[in-house]
Structure formats: structure tokens, C-alpha cells
Amino acid sequence: MHFQIISRRDEISSELQKKMIERLIDAGMALNEESPELVISIGGDGTLLSAFHKYQHRLKETCFVGVHTGHLGFYADWNPEEVDELIDLIIKENFDVIEYPLVETKVICADKTHEFLSLNESTLKMPRGTTLVIDVSLRKGLFERFRGDGICISTPSGSTAYNKSLGGAIIHPSFRAMQLTEIASLNNRVFRTVGSPMVFPDTHFVRITTTTEAPHAVTVDHLHFEIDGIEEIEYRVAKDIIRFARFRPFPFWQRVRESFISN
């Protein structure tokens, strides 16, 4: 098996990275940065997001697994003291593959179309804190005119991230769905929005039409872009999926409880 290890590069993560590389190579596995079959992330969720975006062109060939050395490792199944056990299981290639859905963001401009994949979420805002004014269409019909700070389109696994802090629902990643959550919408006698998170199946798409030619701020997970000349944006559940190597049971709701409730 060919593998690659992405580290957060702090002292603990770097030591674990070195240990895992040495043991896996000694067992006959090959370190391969270009085309790994298994990508091991050592750090927090941000490290795994970076690994996902680095290898999103290999989603059909590559599985991911995370070792948690950060503050919150929602995607990481393993702690540093369990690395020896993980190494043994990797050497045996004894794992199941689970699949999580992604969100596709297509930003259509007059001269170019930008396409992105998100593991957690994609957001749309105005730079420099001005009010975002957009028309939101669901499938083919206009749904509402939104005014506020922005919108967040999240994946089911990303529903526990920024979406949760906005008051969105937590969605089990077995659902091929996406969620639209408002960011500080204006709701009064003059301006109205639905004011609630909305969950869409993979047969639906959300189309955004901008009302100004000014640049807009688009985020894709931890990546930030300021894009000018946007004509419309389409969000949908992506055809691509991310695959995780699962070496032992780790139920989603147990992960939620340990991340947000347990001391």
C-alpha cells in the first residue's frame, strides 16, 4: 500500500509522523506523496481539511484516516496513545471504507467558472462587512431575497462545524444532503427571509443570483476567495464523495457526544 502522512507540524504531531513513517516503511509499505492510497492526517480537523483539498483529485483512489492531536478532532478516530494499534491495523490492511457526501460550489462569472468541493461548508458574504443582498432560488423557482451577513451551505459531516454555531441542525453523514443556514439575516416589517435552516436532498440545487457587481467573499472550508463579476452561484450535493478508512466502530452520535457534551 502507498501512503502519505500530513502533519500539523507541532512537536507531538511531527514525532508521531516520523514514528509512523518508519514503522510503515519497515513493514513494506511505500511512502508516496503523489498518489497515496491512504492519507493519514495527524493534527486537528484543520489538518484533515488541508489533506482533503490536497488530494481531492484522487477521491476515488484515496482513503483518509485521522489521528487527533489538536483541540477538536471531529474527523479523527485515533488518539496519540493509540498509534501503535493503528499502525498494526494499517499494516494488516484491516479496515472498512465509509463514505461521506460533499458539497459542490459552482461560481459562474462572465469570463470564467470556478468549481469547488467542500468537506465542511461553503459560505458567501460581502467583503469588508457590508450587507449581502442575493436572490435565492430552489431548483428552478425564486424562493426569497436574502439580506444579511451571508449564507452557509454545509455537508452533513460539516453540520457540526460552522453550521452548528449558526443554529443549524446536525445531520447524520449517511444522508446525501446539504443544508443552507442563514448568517445574521435581516428580518423586520420590510425585509423577510424564511429564518430557518433548510435541508435539501441530492436531487435539489440552490441557485444564488447576486444583486451587485461588487466582489463577493467565498469560502470553501478553510480557503478564502474574493471573486469579482459573479453572475450566479450553484450549490448541490457533489457526485464525488470522500472515503474514510474505518479501523474500528466509531458511531457518529458517539462522536457528537464526545465532541460537544462529554467533559
- Residues that are catalytic: 45
Amino acid letter for position 235: Y
Residue with cell 447576486: 210
Which cell numbers hold the place of 10? 507541532
Cβ-contact 23, 87 below 8 angstroms? yes
Could you give phi then psi for residue 38, rounded to 5 degrees? -130, 125
User: Hey, which bits of the chain come out as E strands?
Assistant: 2-7, 30-31, 38-43, 63-68, 96-109, 113-118, 121-125, 132-138, 141-154, 177-185, 198-201, 205-210, 216-220, 223-227, 230-246
Cβ-contact 8, 70 below 8 angstroms? yes
